[in-house]
Copies of this chain bind each other. A is one copy, B any other.
């Protein structure tokens, strides 16, 4: 087997999620995942530190996209609009990933240590977004509040994505969520 494997990371991810679904997360080993993907364990460890990492490997990409999108927003827009654009850009990374995400959600919900890691991921994203806003010149506490609102819109939307009767993409639910959040904040939603 050659050292370079086309799309090894994607193949490992797909194999892992299939095994998590079919035989359970706890019962799945790195050896199982590598075998199912037709790759070696060594290749697995080149891409992921352990099987938990398969579940959290996307967190860095989300944050990168969030901050890249924020940097592209014209400076004259209000903080909340900048946040909305950045969070929606991040949400588009989930296009077509509902089956993976649903399986992932089930696994995380069943493991206290993974839930903790999810909370850390959320706190890290929020802090990064607040810092990005500060770099745009948004003062505190507005930067923190705008970041909190944006990340809440993302995570509440994420939870609703799985049950959405219209099976919309995450970005549409998050877009709607910003309007709902605004209506809740100004009391026009009773």
Contacts and interface: CB of A to CB of B under 8 A. Distances in A.
Interface stretch (A25-33, A51-59, A77-85, A97-105): A77-85
Give the copy number: 2
A184 B119 contact: no
B141 A177 contact: yes
Contacts of A119: 116, 119-120, 122-123
Contacts of A156: 141, 144-145, 148
A155 to B, nearest CB: 8
A79 B181 CA distance: 11
Contact of A186 (B116, B152, B185): B185
Given A116-B116, A119-B116, A156-B148, A141 B180 contact: yes
A149 interface: yes
Q: Which 4 A-B pairs have the closest CB atoms?
A: A148-B152, A185-B185, A119-B119, A78-B187
